[in-house]
Amino acid sequence: MNKTVNVRDLGLKDYKDTWDYQEQVFKSIVDTKIKNRREDANLDTSNYFFFVEHPHVYTLGKSGDMSNLLLNEDQLTQKGATFYKVNRGGDITYHGPGQIVGYPILDLDNFFTDIHKYLRLLEEMIILTLAEYGLKTERSSGETGVWLDVGTPFARKICAMGVRASRWVTMHGFALNVNADLGYFDNMIPCGIRGKAVTSLNVELGIDKVDEAEVKSKLLKHFKVLFEAELSKS
């Protein structure tokens, strides 16, 4: 069992280019697992954790409803945004500058074979990170992701999640609003859930800009402990 996770920060990168890159890495891990099974090989499978920031883009998961995007093609162009239907779980979400997106591509056979546990640990990583900034965040029953003031009229989402898994290999991941332009969320029904607001870390802290490198460092610290992983930066 290889618990080493290769961490890469891809910087600002087009959504489709990043998706294609994820698919390549995902396929290489799955192919190794197939070879191990067919040829009784004993090859280690690799694990990755990509950080990335995307230009403005809306993505719709497999079970998503197109009506949750409130813009037509011309309006998307006017806002400098793109749109993709993708092969992750969940409904619609937005990615853009000021948002930390994380894509763990893990062979869960190296850790634990439980998708529910995987999602809960990703949420816990976010919750523990935001606690370091003095925020009390939590899960909302039946709604994947991380929220503030659950069960009140002021409930608001700060981190969205949507993953895909095949042969216990994961892809896609989470999107944490750190210095996000929340105006872009007005152009959709976030995750298909009406009447729920969205927030960002800088808004909650009442400051102009949060140090995103510091947030990433905290996320990795908690990820390492929760997944009992070794991190290798490249």
If pLDDT is split at 50, 70 and 90, which confidence band does 65 have? confident
Residue set of the binding site for substrate: 88-95, 160-162, 173-175
Q: pTM for the full model? A: 0.94
| Residue 158, pLDDT score | 97
- The DSSP symbol for 89 reads S
Q: What is the mean pLDDT of the chain?
A: 93
pLDDT for residue 190 is more than 70: no
| Residue 61, pLDDT score | 85
pLDDT digit string, tens, across residues 197-230: 899 999 999 999 999 999 999 999 999 999 999 9
Taking the C-alpha atoms of residue 53 and residue 69, their distance in angstroms, rounded to an integer, is 21
> Which residues sit opposite 192 in a β-bridge?
none
Q: What is the mean pLDDT of residues 172-201?
A: 86
If pLDDT is split at 50, 70 and 90, which confidence band does 141 have? confident
Q: Which amino acid is at 225?
A: V
Q: Give the active site residues.
A: 191
Q: What is the mean pLDDT of residues 171-196?
A: 85
Taking the C-alpha atoms of residue 139 and residue 145, their distance in angstroms, rounded to an integer, is 6
Reduced to 3 states, what is the DSSP secondary structure of residue 9? strand
> Which tokens is 17 given?
């280019």
User: What's the domain count of the chain?
Assistant: 1
Residue 214: domain span = 4-233
If pLDDT is split at 50, 70 and 90, which confidence band does 62 have? confident
pLDDT digit string, tens, across residues 152-171: 999 999 999 989 999 999 99
Question: What is the chain's Cα-based Rg?
Answer: 18
| Domain of residue 70, CATH code | 3.30.930.10
* Contact between 144 and 152 (Cβ < 8 Å): no
The residues, ordered by sequence, that sit 6+ positions from 179 with a Cβ below 8 Å of its Cβ are 97, 98, 99, 200, 201, 202, 209, 210, 212
Mean pLDDT is lowest, of 99-113, 118-132, 133-147, 178-192, for: 178-192
